[in-house]
Amino acid sequence: MTRLPRAAALLALLVVTTLTTLAMVAGGAGAGVPPGASAAVAPPFDLAVGGSGSVGFQPSVTHPHGQPTDDGYADVLAARETSRWPGLTLVRIGCPGMTTQTMISGGGHCAYRAGSQLETALSFLRTHPSTVLVTVDLGFNDLIPCLRAMQVNATCVAGALASVQSQLPQILTALRQAAPAGAHLIGMSHYDPYLGDDVRGPAGHAFAQATLDVIIRLNDVLRSAYAKAGLPMGDVGAAFELRNTTPTVVPGLGTVPTDVARACSLTWMCTPPPLGPNTHPNDDGYRVVANALAATLSSSSATTG
- What are the structural domain ranges in the chain? 2-304
CA separation for the pair 296, 278 (Å, rounded): 27
pLDDT in tens, the chain (305 residues): 544 433 333 333 333 333 333 333 333 222 233 444 444 578 999 999 999 999 999 999 999 999 999 999 999 999 999 999 999 999 999 999 999 999 999 998 999 999 999 999 999 999 999 999 999 999 999 999 999 999 999 999 999 999 999 999 999 999 999 999 999 999 999 999 999 999 999 999 999 999 999 999 999 999 999 999 999 999 999 999 999 999 999 999 999 999 999 999 999 999 999 999 999 999 999 999 999 999 999 987 755 54
Q: Which of 21, 32, 85, 5 shows the shortest CA–CA distance to 55?
A: 21
3-state secondary structure of 51: coil
State the pLDDT at residue 300.
79
State the pLDDT at residue 157.
98
Report the predicted TM-score, pTM, of the whole model to 2 decimal places: 0.86
State the pLDDT at residue 37.
40
Are 57 and 66 in contact by the 8 Å Cβ rule? The answer is yes
Partners of 67 in beta bridges = 58
CA separation for the pair 103, 218 (Å, rounded): 17
Q: Which CATH superfamily is domain 2-304 in?
A: SGNH hydrolase (3.40.50.1110)
State the pLDDT at residue 1.
54
CA separation for the pair 269, 65 (Å, rounded): 12
Are 23 and 15 in contact by the 8 Å Cβ rule? The answer is yes
State the pLDDT at residue 299.
87
Measured CA angle at 40 (ends 2, 3), to 5 deg: 15
State the pLDDT at residue 33.
37
State the pLDDT at residue 302.
58
State the pLDDT at residue 18.
34
